[in-house]
Structure 1
Amino acid sequence: MNIVITGANRGIGLALTKAYLSQGARVFALCRTTSEALSATTAEVIEGIDVSDDSALATLAEHLKQTLGSGESIQVLINNAGILTNESLGAMDFEAIAEQININSIAPLKVTAALLPLLSKGSKIGLVTSRMGSHTDNSSGGYYGYRMSKAALNSAGVSLAQDLKPHGIAVALLHPGFVQTDMVGGAGDIPPETAADGLIKRLEELSLNNTGSFWHSNGEQLPW
């Protein structure tokens, strides 16, 4: 099984890489710069991948096409790379908001479009989003850029699910939980390994019957 994971050098991406490798999968671990932990795995690490860079993604697609060979495809594509900053009414940073929208919502769509020719009937796409993109679940405000970017990603994911269903490709919108990663300064309720196990289970359960669903890694279906 061929797995492609963005943002694989740390946190959830690294945990997903290790978990899939333990299952015997072939993992292409994408990142801008590798880490000691990622380099120590048997994943096929591809550095220099800025998920917002069109030329880098075109080069990536060609590299994967040649590496996979004729008749091979990507079974699971996980768009995991993302950034987080906190804006409030009293401290608004519109450049940071735009950057989060670019990296968290537009870039996953770019990655998916670039690699779509390498997917086939039965392939699955996981978009690592957040319940902070839920309108219904927002009871605290703040985090304007992150909330907006994840809401936009959710919208893109539903459109992808509709457009790709006739081609036999399913899409899941996946909230990992409040995970203990560098992104949140080590805070969180669960370690990356627990989140990764849950995300993999949700992807295993993903089908054309539930494509476009918004799931917590623990299996809970989340409100929009």
Structure 2
Amino acid sequence: MANVVITGANRGIGLELARLYEARGDSVTAICREGNEEIEDIADQVIAGIDVTDEENLPKVVGMLHKLLDGPVDILINNAGLFTNETVANMSLEGIRQQMEVNAIAPLNVTMNFLPLMTEGSKVANITSRMGSIADNTSGGYFGYRASKAALNAIGKSLAIDLKPAGVAVAQIHPGYVQTRMVGFTGDITPADAAAGIAARIDELTLENSGGFWHSNGQALPW
């Protein structure tokens, strides 16, 4: 049984990841801004009221998990995210700042705070996006989302290098174009399918392939 911690676990991909790991017999801790009946029914522990950008929250969560968990955090999934669209004609610098805070800085801060709970063999999965690929950008726009996910990819790569001596592997995983509220439910795959692909990539994650950037279907993505 693994101890799995998921941020942004109350809906969408996060909720389906919680459902998947719970069905596998793992212990799931859901961290979210707002709890709901679905995640309360699924997760072993729900820590609600947590804004991952609030630096004062995270040490409190770590303290709670020290008491709640039997063993280390085996899998940390940084799933919480924010998506808006800034264009040349419709620019919001504040929106860009917010996405950088939620999508890039918060996952780094969450990971750093949770490191004392991890051990050799632990894994960190950053839920990123193909839109963070500079090489793959052929349509422009989405300044904040693209930049924040590119930053997350760079952070994840550095974490993979820095945490390798401690035996902690790190992956950047693009879930696909998923039918979630974030994109108005217009995606190509269901959250359950995305969660299955993400879990498969985490299963395959080792220190040897740590630092990679993958689609949930297993495809290696360009930086």
Taking structure 2 as the reference length, what is the TM-score of the superposition? 0.98
Aligned to 1:23: 24
| Alignment partners' CA distance in 2, 1:79 and 1:48 | 16
- Residues 1:221 and 2:220 are matched in the alignment: yes
Aligned to 2:47: 46
The letter of the residue matching 2:20 is A
| Alignment partners' CA distance in 1, 2:210 and 2:43 | 31
| Alignment partners' CA distance in 1, 2:103 and 2:55 | 15
Q: Which aligned pairs between 1:58-137 and structure 2 lie closer than 5 A?
A: 58-68=59-69, 72-137=71-136
The letter of the residue matching 1:175 is H
Aligned to 1:181: 180
Aligned to 2:167: 168
Equivalent residue pairs, number = 222
The letter of the residue matching 2:62 is A
| Alignment partners' CA distance in 1, 2:114 and 2:90 | 38
- Residues 1:140 and 2:142 are matched in the alignment: no
Cα distance, 1:54 vs. partner?
1.1
Cα distance, 1:68 vs. partner?
1.9
Cα distance, 1:201 vs. partner?
0.3
| Alignment partners' CA distance in 1, 2:58 and 2:21 | 23
| Alignment partners' CA distance in 1, 2:89 and 2:37 | 39
| Alignment partners' CA distance in 2, 1:35 and 1:81 | 16
Cα distance, 1:42 vs. partner?
4.0
Aligned to 1:3: 4
Aligned to 1:190: 189
Task: List alignment gaps of at least 5 residues for structure 2.
Answer: none
Distance 1:51 1:13, change over 3 A: same
Q: What is the DSSP-based 3-state SS (H/G/I as helix, E as strand, rest coil) of the residue aligned with 1:97?
A: helix
Cα distance, 1:67 vs. partner?
1.5
| Alignment partners' CA distance in 2, 1:42 and 1:208 | 28
The letter of the residue matching 1:20 is Y
The letter of the residue matching 1:108 is P
The letter of the residue matching 1:48 is G
Cα distance, 1:39 vs. partner?
1.9
Over the aligned positions, Cα root-mean-square deviation in angstroms equals 0.7
